[in-house]
Structure 1
Amino acid sequence: MSGESETEALDELARRRGFYFQANESYGGVAGFYTYGPSGASLKRNVEESWRERFVTREGNMEIDAPTVTPEDVFEASGHLDGFDDMLVECAGCGESHRADHLVEDATDIEDAETYPTDEVEELIAAHDITCPNCGAPLEGQRVEEFNLMFETTIGPGSGQPGYLRPETAQGMFTEFPRLKEYAREQLPFGVAQIGTGYRNEISPRNALLRTREFTMAELEFFVDPEAGGPDLDAVADVSLPLYPASAQAEDGEEYVELGPKEAVEEGLVAGEWVAYFLARSKAWFESVGVDMERFRFRQHLPGELAHYAADCWDAEAEVGGDWIELEGVASRSDYDLSKHAKHADDTFTVFKQYDEPKTVERATVEPDMAALGPEYGSAAADIASALADLAARDRSAFDGDEVTVEVDGETYTVEKELTGFEVTEETEAGRHIVPHVVEPAFGVGRAVYTVLAHAYDEDEVDGETRSVLRLPPSVAPTTVGVFPLMDKDGMGETARELAETLRQAGFDVTYDDAGNIGRRYRRQDEVGTPFCVTVDYEAVEDGTVTLRERDSTEQKRVDADALPGILADIRAGTRSFDEL
């Protein structure tokens, strides 16, 4: 199936079977907003629970739920006000706005136009005679501008306090760090996770769930000691990472490097053991929820593509409809976020690192004579005193002469050394405060759901008819089991309804269906990805055994109805297979 036909078939199935559809269609709809239907909401919830089990429960991390509306000061500190932009070009003919880098990528062989400066994108639009997708008017000569993607709002009545809908969940975990570190007893490393809604005012939403204006993210902020060792990579030694490094992309190659996590670090390809560890954990998780590993890779960000906070980043990407789409970014954010908030917020964003034994250290301090500095330097005296303190901590040799020079707001001041109160003393300290570094695996839940559906969708032939089937893993399928009476008579309907209720009480998502012939009922469940169907026939009423049908192979086996909850639980958990029954 071609890329375009694959996505068209998936979108048609999604609407018809209740996975997702455009929101507010009765009012015309607005691009970039989707509603998950009954099947989609269940699939999405199962994917989220699987992520939580892997990255929170099994890793021993914390989870929080922070507000989606955030004061402007937070995003000023984080850099989002200045650096969270996409390239916009507006058509002079119809007034429609477009994502300029996407237009260039669609019309050329360039895959990373977002890394280009705006003036070069303007030149590419002109050189390739790119026109407006809406009305066909030429876009040559139209200015390409940076457009901030955050939704702005007002907190409180009237003019109120400016705020924004969060474009990511990460800042909630950074701003609450002073309290969260206490819950972790200031012991590094520790992780804080969050699954929640993010908002980005996309210029041109497209591709269903892949680029929307409201979406769900699952993010983990993992705080580490930059001077300490990393994780035990032997725990993920069995994972092979399909890496697409920046060097290969620069050469326009498609050559992937298959390495284990430890080898990737030793060869300098991946920046740090924690990044390699989370790449390995991520790959295993994606495979567990149904992403096809033959259509999966980790692509390293190019230098011009890196976010303003990232020192290095690898995107987990999957091929869908002929295009590679981002599912996750694993970023090394260094100490950028906590250091930024430490400068702007009235709190402490460090962790106290205790030494194995107390140490005696020399410390340079200043105690300026303000009675002399005040009359001499006026309103600048306090800033000069602060600058002297910073200089003493940074470079004590600057105080070797009779005078000391500092710079305040671009102006140079020379102060007599005797007025600075400079001295070097010995102190015994039990430890010191450090700013943790952050490694962030950030997942797009909607993109993962879309990819799982795309990779699960298949068409085959059963009993001479073409069958549409979603080969979803039992752990994430919207419905675990369909229960059918062969006919709703002679006690079969009553027995089937009782069995369906028993399975529901055992924690399974169950569909009961007695409409139409049994083959059609099977097809309906195959199409929404239900991995098992149970048929209650005359024999079931007589001896308590039922027919259990497996979706992918369509094979059937006779099992005891009383044992069914345990059988399904084992298969869903992966501890037993259908073939072993």
Structure 2
Amino acid sequence: MSGVSAEALVELAKRRGFFLQSAGAYGGVSGFYTFGPQGAAMKRNVEDTWRERFAIQEGHMEVDAPTVLPEPVFEASGHLDGFDDMLVECPECGQSHRADHIVEDDPDTGIEEAESLAPERVEEVIAEYELACPTCGTGLAGQAIEQFNLMFETTIGPGSSSPGYLRPETAQGIFIEFPQLAEYARNQLPFGVTQIGRAYRNEISPRKSLLRVREFTQAELELFVDPDADDVPDLSAVADVTAQFYSADAQAEADGEPVEMTVGEAFDEGVVADPWIAYYLGVAAEWYAAIGVDMDRFRFRQHRPGELAHYSEDCWDAEGEVSDPGEDPDWIELGGFAYRADYDLSKHDAHSDEDFTVFKQYDEPVSVETPTVDPAMGYLGPEFGGAAGNVAAALEALAEDEPDAFDGEDVTVDVDGESYTVPVEKTGFAIEEVTESGEHITPHVVEPSLGIDRALYTALDHAYREDEVDGEERTYLELPPEVAPTTVGVFPLMDKDGLGERAREIAAELRTAGFSVAYDDSGAIGRRYRRQDEIGTPYCVTVDYDTLEDASVTIRDRDSTDQTRVAVADLDSTIESLVDGETTFDEL
């Protein structure tokens, strides 16, 4: 059977070396987790499959930016002012909690997404439903809700004159390098830049192990596109991918439900408006399925207007269901697919000394009428003294923005709060015809951003199985071979008569062939099988006395527990064929 409680999954993860709370010797630190040997291997495999699908197969670049960036970056991006959560403090025990989570966790409120509500409304709900502190049970009605910025602050170098922050997302490390990245792409749109790396958010109340942490790994793609071009993705590649789509309109309806449809249908029917978003929803659905997410417990949910981030025109979340057996569905965000428009590049263009545009070449040169001014400084100088230069600059800006202002005999400009009137004949205003070969444009950004830690947790949750083998209960993880931390376990039937030596030789040969191999000669063979089953190892190889006679071994399938004999000479190619899906175990 499938299904596991969060408590049981966390216990298995710690016992078998997937993940555990960090700094346990010092009482632990909330929101930080160490990936053990199995977890680190699985995490690396998940990252590699993401890199293969989103970077290599798509032909995108990959970068690795610093995790600490200077304060001006986050002033420009809006994180200093808008990257906040709602905090409420218990008057009795002093514990701080996310006010929106307290509202969402109480079933009587019927509110699933309190984050989109204004703090004043959250205060009203807490008072109306008499919600209490989760730690000590003291009522929170009347307690003020404060906005708490989630970024970790630091200083760059000695002293405090150069403040910096740990990045709350990997995206800004890409955006600030856009001028150089555009050169690498030869200024040809569209082009994509990917990155896998750590991000940091000082969560008010971390919870649910890997699902709400303060340090996590993101895999992000920033796709830079020309908003006015006809360049669109080939949706045929993912048109037949099926998933559950939960639109904002459906969420607004009392009985609205997710609808199962193909990506092609979702785009054609206007459920997903942007073709790039639709394309990457399809790519992501295939990727999630490939790493072991149960697509019956997966959906895409569109952000409602109140949920949209400050930079986003539209956004869809990939969500996975990780409820305890028998409990109401608990959907968690696994990734976001946002249309960020030109918000980020325009902000960094305005705040920095760099140009965050690309030059768009026209198919053919075009002639355009351009207003120009050539102020008579011999007039402006004596007339306006030290302000003459600023008046001339103001005339140039006015000619560009409002050429009609020069239709009369005089034109007036404002400089530092004062008005200056200049005869039009002294401005040198003229309309000139010039030939242009192109224009500078600010690209728009499409961003698929996926959480690696949550993807790993969801894959473990969805892979958990319990059954009975030979009258004994068994727990195993039905992980795809591509992401399982170990590909094959190698066991000698017993460590004597040369069996152990031959098994170690076979294990070494399989490692040389590129497989992740676990060698185990401790305990009964059945116990060794169970240990590998519980960490998701898809195949186990047993070396017995027949191996010494006919150079064959027993290979065992994790899911079915079926076994068959394979020649040692064919072992690596057989396992490779099984891992790649070219052969099924039944066919052996």
TM-score past 0.5 threshold: yes
Partner-residue secondary structure (3-state), 2:5: helix
C-alpha distance 115-505 of structure 1, shift in aligned 2 (>3 A)? same
Please state how far the C-alpha of 1:579 moved relative to its aligned partner.
Answer: 2.1
Deviation larger for 387-396 or 148-157: 387-396
d(CA) in 2 for partners of 1:390, 1:112: 46
Aligned to 1:188: 189
Report the counterpart of residue 305 of structure 1 in structure 2: 307
Alpha-carbon distance, 1:413 to partner: 6.6
1:59 matched to 2:58? yes
Q: What residue number does 1:440 align with?
A: 447
Q: 1:542 to 1:206 in 2, by over 3 A?
A: same
Does the 8 A contact of 1:240 with 1:260 survive in 2? yes
Distance, in Å, in 1 between the alignment partners of 2:276 and 2:187 is: 19
Between the aligned partners of 1:335 and 1:343, the Cα distance in structure 2 is 12
C-alpha spacing 1:94/1:566, structure 2 compared with 1 (3 Å): same
| Structure 2, unaligned runs of 5 or more | 324-328
The aligned counterpart of 1:239 is: 241
CA deviation after TM superposition for structure 1 residue 266, in Å: 3.1
1:50 equivalent in structure 2: 49
Partner of residue 566 from structure 2, selected from 559, 564, 573: 559
**1:523 equivalent among 530, 535, 545:** 530
Residue 150 of structure 2 aligns with which residue? 149
Displacement of 1:377 after TM fit?
A: 6.9
Residue number in structure 1 paired with 2:326: none
TM-score, reference length from structure 2: 0.94
Match in the other structure for 2:176: 175
Q: Secondary structure at the match of 2:147?
A: strand
What one-letter code is carried by the residue in structure 2 that aligns with 1:550? D
Q: Which amino acid aligns with 1:422?
A: F
Deviation at 1:366, TM superposition (A): 3.3
- The equivalent of 1:540 in structure 2 is 547
2:16 paired residue number = 17
Task: Provide the residue aligned with 1:285 in structure 2.
Answer: 287
Distance in 1, Cα, partners of 2:143 & 2:485? 47
Partner of 1:135: 136
Sort the Cα spacing of 1:372 and 1:31 in 2 relative to 1 into closer, same or farther, 3 A. Answer: farther
Distance in 2 of aligned mates of 1:393 and 1:544: 84
**Corresponding residue SS for 1:234:** helix
Equivalent residue, structure 1, for 2:578: 571
Once the two structures are superposed, residues 125-176 of structure 1 have per-residue CA deviations (whole angstroms, 9 ceiling, x without a partner) of 1001111111221111111111110001100111230110000000111000
Fraction of identical pairs, as percent? 65
Partner SS, residue 537 of structure 2: coil
Any conservation in 2 of the 1:262–1:273 contact (CA below 8 Å)? no
Pair 375,305 (structure 1): closer, same or farther in 2 beyond 3 Å: farther
Distance of 1:12 and 1:207 partners within structure 2:
13
Aligned to 1:460: 467
**1:158 maps to which residue?**
159
Give the total of aligned pairs.
580
Match of 2:371 among 354, 364, 368: 364
Bigger mean CA deviation after superposition, 116-125 or 386-395: 386-395
Tell me the distance in 2 between the aligned counterparts of 1:20 and 1:380: 67
Give the superposition deviation at 1:577: 2.1
**Contact 1:236/1:281 (8 A) holds in 2:** yes
Moved more, 139-148 or 292-301: 139-148
Contact 1:242-1:259 at 8 Å conserved across structures: yes
Deviation per CA, 1:171-212: give whole Å up to 9, x if none: 111000100111111111110000001000001111100110
Corresponding letter in the other structure for 2:30: A
Q: 1:319 aligns with which of 318, 321, 327?
A: 321
- Tell me the C-alpha RMSD between the 2 structures: 2.0
1:464-487: CA deviation from partner (whole Å, max 9, x where unpaired): 111111000000000000001111
| Superposition deviation, residue 541 in structure 1 | 1.2
C-alpha distance 419-18 of structure 1, shift in aligned 2 (>3 A): farther
Closer/same/farther in 2, CA of residues 538 and 27 from structure 1, 3 Å limit = same
- Cα distance, 1:47 vs. partner? 0.1
Separation in 2 of the partners of 1:80 and 1:36?
29
Q: Return 269-278 or 120-129, whichever deviates more.
A: 269-278
**TM-superposed deviation, 1:81:** 0.8
Q: Report how far residue 564 of structure 1 moved.
A: 1.2
* SS, match of residue 566 in structure 2: strand
Distance in 2 (alpha carbons) for counterparts of 1:416 and 1:262 = 61
* CA separation of 1:383 and 1:527: change in aligned 2, threshold 3 A: farther
